[in-house]
């Protein structure tokens, strides 16, 4: 795909990938590429990106609230203790992607997360230290110029896997880096490219 940014009816020029879908456009405008520094939120996004493997992100995004409810709002402390009974319940939940390997991977990743948290400054610092604490800003003009993975995403992937994380291949990690603002891959002509600079994701209110 060599698609350039497109100008929508509201006069704003955006990356082409959300198309005209209002739900997807809202995600592009308010979340994707905005730096995320919350430990738990970063874990959630990494797990959801793992569930995306083989699917489209919009599929996962539409099920995100169901995932949050099913996975105890992605609290690693709870997920790390999931029993076989809980896994069976998740496999019966039509509101999420029912893939046993990915569900069990989320549990193993939660254990890896807790180990990182115990080691020191936290999951956020662990991840952001790979980019020296600030977003890498690219200046791509077309969607086709954006890589699927990079040597850095491969490095992070290898380190995460060594710590017990699952479904964290280089491509998944790069998509995660883009979504959480570790990399600013909004096309240079997209209004979000500049808007994301200097921003920081606001904490999300937990679901009940």
Which CATH number do you get for residue 128?
Answer: 1.10.340.30
Decide: 18 and 28 in contact? Cβ < 8 Å.
Answer: yes
Residue 5 falls inside a structural domain = no
Find out whether 88 is annotated in a ligand binding site: no
Residue 29 falls inside a structural domain = no
Residue 147 falls inside a structural domain = yes
Neighbour-count burial for 71-101, b at 16+ CB within 10 Å, e otherwise:
bebbebeebbebeeebeeebeeeeebbebee
Residue 201 falls inside a structural domain = no
What would the pLDDT profile of 49-100 be if each residue is shown by its tens digit? 999 999 999 999 999 999 999 999 999 999 999 999 999 999 999 999 999 9
What would the pLDDT profile of 112-163 be if each residue is shown by its tens digit? 999 999 998 899 999 999 999 999 999 999 999 999 999 999 999 999 999 9
Find out whether 186 is annotated in a ligand binding site: yes
Residue 11 falls inside a structural domain = no
Find out whether 28 is annotated in a ligand binding site: yes
pTM attached to this predicted model: 0.94
Range of the domain at 144: 36-195
Find out whether 196 is annotated in a ligand binding site: no
User: Count of domains in the chain?
Assistant: 1
Decide: 140 and 187 in contact? Cβ < 8 Å.
Answer: yes
Residue 175 falls inside a structural domain = yes
């Amino acid at each position: 795909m060599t698609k350039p940014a497109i100008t929508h009816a509201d006069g704003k020029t955006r990356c082409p990938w959300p198309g005209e879908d209002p739900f997807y456009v809202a995600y592009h405008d308010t979340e994707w590429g905005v730096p995320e520094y919350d430990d738990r939120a970063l874990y959630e996004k990494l797990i959801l990106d793992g569930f995306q493997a083989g699917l489209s992100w919009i599929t996962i995004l539409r099920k995100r609230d169901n995932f949050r409810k099913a996975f105890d709002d992605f609290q690693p402390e709870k997920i790390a203790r999931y029993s076989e009974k809980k896994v069976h319940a998740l496999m019966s939940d039509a509101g999420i992607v029912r893939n046993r390997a990915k569900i069990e991977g989320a549990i193993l990743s939660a254990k890896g997360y807790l180990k990182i948290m115990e080691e020191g400054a936290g999951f956020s610092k662990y991840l952001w230290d790979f980019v020296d604490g600030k977003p890498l800003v690219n200046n791509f003009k077309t969607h086709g110029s954006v890589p699927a993975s990079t040597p850095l995403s491969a490095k992070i992937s290898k380190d995460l896997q060594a710590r017990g994380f699952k479904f964290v291949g280089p491509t998944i990690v790069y998509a995660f880096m883009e979504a959480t603002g570790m990399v600013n891959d909004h096309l240079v002509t997209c209004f979000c490219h500049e808007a994301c600079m200097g921003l920081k994701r606001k904490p999300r209110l937990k679901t009940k």
